[in-house]
């Protein structure tokens, strides 16, 4: 008898493990294949909508380079939905929000969005994040006639007549660029100006706005970086800006890049006036990054703490009251909502630019549902946003711009200065930077409209939000 056959225990283990793997695999595939859309009480024939529920979904980065900070937005949105559900939902329908991790990879977004639409039968895709990711599913969602609402990106591409089911929410990057550019032109006339921006749509759309306002002869240097390979300090770019003699540096950077640009600048004694897009200027997000990068580089806790001070005096813009504005009624409401309905998120991140963003966006969607009425349909929802979007109550300084032809949200903001003398932000992460406004709230558009002062009112939180918990 061949001794290799029956005597070897290891071989039988191998057979068992292989067999088990095969069975497990087969079972997985079968279960994945056989899982059909969840049976729900069919009160309407609108996908995702029953007499008692509305199911919506989103794809967001919960891991990967884009996750830090951005992974707070969807949970913050969920806090708003939990709040409205605890108060009877919208027309008796409770909102079920499914958000999946696409890791900021458009190929994952494509698969997961199909899972949400074709398998989970969502009513609408709400609050999905990213330009490349959402561009990947724009035509799919429109061909399926699924609303792709309030995309978390300021790309100029969401207000496109050929994609009527898509809609942005935050100010387009070009609008932010124009408002900040207008301020730079007026305030720093005659000074040398340098740009540092991300080499993709975010950076180029923003710079497009800057260039509409800032005379090109005063721009002495234009530096870019690649978000995908952002790993270390942007020393070369900063050295080039210093060499060109830029006294004002305007940056369209994500939070990590903001920190990675300011730190090497400080190291070579270069302290220009920084002007940041709102994307990369949120103090509770950027402050800890400045500290942790410094801690890693120097090992000194004191220097790490002091690094946060680099944000002092930075100019940026805001389109809703920053978390540091503790007396603002919206900030009070947002903080309470987060404490009551997302205590773990509040303990981890506190109220910062990202959680505020999620709350405001979700509250916008709740109002869209209310405006769409009892007989909820997808075209009905879009029509309601186009018709009454301008009158939605949001924390935004300016009303939403929605109409049949405009699918941008806010088209205005206020230039602010970060300062340690303003009331400090009260977040568990210990940020101490507050802000003060330096211009009135201003509005413009992505086209040739001038930057003008906003003369309308800014809405206050409704009773339902302030009086309840």
Partner 1 sequence: MTPSPSRLLSWSHAPWMDRLRLPTQPLARHVILALGGAAILYLVTSSLSPYNDFEVGEIALYVIALAGLSLLTGINGQISLGHGAFMAVGAYTTALLMTHTHLNFVVELLASIGAAAVLGLLIGIPATRLKGPYLAGMTLLLALALPPIADKWSTTFGGDQGLTTTVPTAPGTITPERWLAWIQILGALIILVLLANLLRSRYGRAFRAVRDDEIAASLAGIHVARTKVMAFAISAGCAGLAGAFLGLSTGVVNTGEFPLTLSIQLLAAMVLGGTGTLVGMWWGAILLVYLPQWSTSLSGDFNLGSGANAYLATIIFGVVLIVVMIAAPTGIQGGLRWAWRHVASLGSGPGADPHRPPGRPKNTAASPSGLT
Eight-state DSSP code of residue 391: G
Judge contact between 351 and 331, C-beta under 8 A: yes
Under the binding rule (CB under 8 A), the answer on residue 199 touching partner 1 is yes
In whole angstroms, how far apart are CA 427 and each of 136, 176, 307, 359, 466?
36, 26, 18, 16, 20
CB of 362 to partner 1, least distance (A): 16
Which of 50, 91, 187, 201 binds partner 1 (CB under 8 A)? It is 201
Site for partner 1 in 281-320 (CB under 8 A): none
Q: How far is the CB of 271 from partner 1 (least distance, A)?
A: 31
CA atoms of 269 and 291, how far apart (whole Å) = 18
C-alpha distances in Å from residue 434, one per residue of 206, 326, 443, 447, 459: 24, 9, 23, 32, 22
Closest approach of Cβ 291 to partner 1, in Å? Answer: 22
Residue 114 as a binder of partner 1 (CB under 8 A): the answer is yes
Q: Are 157 and 131 in contact (CB under 8 A)?
A: yes
Closest CA to 125 of 99, 107, 91, 105: 99
Rounded Cα distance between 142 and 140, Å, is 5
- Interaction between residue 111 and partner 1 (CB under 8 A): yes
Name the residue nearer to partner 1 (CB basis): 31 or 327: 31
What is the closest distance, in whole angstroms, from the C-beta atom of residue 119 to partner 1 in the complex? 4
**Please, where are the H alpha helices in 166-254?**
173-187, 201-213, 235-243
Query: Would you list the DSSP string of 293-351?
Result: HHHHHH--HHHHHHHGGGGTT-EEEESB--TT-TTSHHHHHHHHHHHHH-HHHHHHH-S
Size of the site for partner 1 (CB under 8 A): 62
Q: Tokens 């024939």, residue? A: 45
Q: Which is nearer to partner 1, 21 or 449 (CB)?
A: 21
CB 208 within 8 A of CB 177: yes
Summarize the chain as % helix, strand, coil (round to 5): 45, 15, 35
Pick 99 or 183: Cβ nearer partner 1: 99
Q: Which of 7, 63, 375, 404 binds partner 1 (CB under 8 A)?
A: 63
Query: CA–CA separation, 208 vs 332, rounded Å?
Result: 36
Nearest distance from C-beta of residue 302 to partner 1, angstroms? 31
Pick one of 155, 193, 263, 376: the residue that binds partner 1 (CB under 8 A). 155
Selected binder of partner 1 within 62, 95, 338, 382 (CB under 8 A): 62
Identify the CA nearest to 49 among candidates 93, 101, 7. Answer: 93
Number of neighbouring beta carbons within 10 Å of residue 216: 7
| Residue 1 or 457 having the CB closest to partner 1 | 1
Of residues 127 through 146, those in contact with partner 1 by CB under 8 A are 131-133, 135-140, 143
**143 vs 469, beta carbon nearer partner 1:** 143
Q: How far is the CB of 189 from partner 1 (least distance, A)?
A: 32
Nearer to partner 1, 105 or 439 (CB): 105
Round to whole Å and give the CA distance between 412 and 407.
14
Closer Cβ to partner 1, 227 or 266, answer by number:
227
Residue carrying the six token digits 């002062």: 453
- For partner 1, the closer of residues 19 and 215 by Cβ is 19
Q: Which is nearer to partner 1, 46 or 118 (CB)?
A: 118
Mask of contacts with partner 1, 11-40, x by CB under 8 A? x-xxx-xxx-xx--x--xx--xx--xx---
Q: Which is nearer to partner 1, 100 or 241 (CB)?
A: 100
DSSP class of 165: T
200 binds partner 1 per the rule CB under 8 A: yes
- Interaction with partner 1 in 220-249: which residues (CB under 8 A)? 226, 228-229
Q: 141 or 385, CB closer to partner 1? A: 141
Dihedral, 207, 213, 216, 218 alpha carbons, nearest 10: -110
Interacting residue with partner 1 among 47, 48, 75, 209 (CB under 8 A): 75
- Interface of this chain with partner 1, residues 376 to 405, rule: CB under 8 A: none
In the set 44, 50, 187, 204, which binds partner 1 (CB under 8 A)?
Answer: 204
Residues that bind partner 1 (CB under 8 A): 1-2, 4-5, 11, 13-15, 17-19, 21-22, 25, 28-29, 32-33, 36-37, 62-63, 67, 71, 75, 99-101, 103-111, 114-115, 117-119, 131-133, 135-140, 143, 155, 157, 199-202, 204, 226, 228-229
């Amino acid at each position: 008898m061949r001794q290799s056959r029956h005597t070897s225990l290891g071989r039988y283990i191998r057979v068992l493990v292989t067999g088990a793997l095969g069975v497990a695999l087969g079972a997985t595939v079968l279960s994945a294949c056989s899982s059909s859309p969840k049976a729900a009480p069919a009160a309407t024939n609108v996908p995702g909508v029953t007499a008692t529920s509305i199911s919506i979904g989103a794809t967001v980065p919960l891991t990967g380079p884009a996750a830090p900070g951005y992974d707070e937005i969807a949970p913050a949105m969920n806090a708003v939905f939990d709040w409205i559900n605890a108060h009877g939902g919208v027309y008796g329908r409770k909102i079920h929000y499914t958000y999946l991790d696409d890791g900021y990879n458009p190929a994952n977004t494509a698969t997961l969005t199909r899972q949400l639409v074709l398998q989970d039968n969502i009513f609408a895709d709400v609050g999905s994040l990213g330009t490349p990711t959402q561009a990947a599913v724009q035509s799919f969602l429109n061909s399926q006639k699924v609303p792709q609402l309030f995309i978390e990106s300021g790309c100029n591409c969401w207000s496109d007549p050929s994609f009527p089911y898509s809609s942005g929410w935050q100010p387009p990057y070009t609008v932010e660029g124009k408002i900040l550019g207008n301020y730079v032109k007026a305030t720093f006339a005659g000074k040398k100006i340098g740009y540092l921006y991300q080499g993709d749509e975010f950076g180029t759309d923003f710079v497009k706005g800057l260039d509409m306002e800032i005379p090109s002869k005063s721009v002495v240097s234009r530096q870019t970086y690649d978000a995908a390979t952002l790993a270390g300090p942007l020393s070369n770019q900063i050295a080039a800006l210093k060499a060109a003699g830029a006294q004002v540096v305007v940056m369209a950077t994500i939070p990590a890049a903001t920190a990675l640009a300011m730190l090497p600048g400080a190291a070579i004694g270069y302290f220009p006036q920084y002007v940041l897009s709102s994307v990369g200027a949120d103090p509770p997000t950027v402050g800890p990054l400045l500290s942790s990068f410094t801690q890693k580089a120097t090992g000194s806790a004191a220097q790490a703490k002091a690094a946060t001070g680099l944000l002092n005096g930075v100019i940026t813009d805001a389109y809703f009251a920053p978390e540091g504005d503790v007396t603002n009624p919206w900030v009070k409401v947002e903080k309470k909502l987060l404490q009551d309905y997302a205590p773990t998120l509040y303990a981890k991140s506190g109220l910062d630019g990202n959680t505020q963003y999620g709350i405001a966006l979700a509250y916008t969607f709740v109002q869209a549902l209310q405006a769409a009425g009892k007989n909820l349909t997808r075209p009905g929802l879009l029509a309601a946003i186009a018709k009454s979007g301008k009158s939605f109550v949001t924390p935004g300084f300016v009303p939403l711009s929605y109409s049949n032809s405009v699918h941008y949200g806010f088209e205005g903001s206020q230039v602010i200065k970060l300062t340690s003398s303003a009331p400090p932000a009260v977040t568990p992460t210990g940020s101490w930077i507050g802000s003060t406004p330096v211009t009135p709230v201003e509005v413009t558009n992505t086209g040739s409209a001038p930057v003008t002062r906003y003369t309308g009112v800014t809405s206050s939180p409704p009773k339902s939000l302030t009086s309840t918990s």
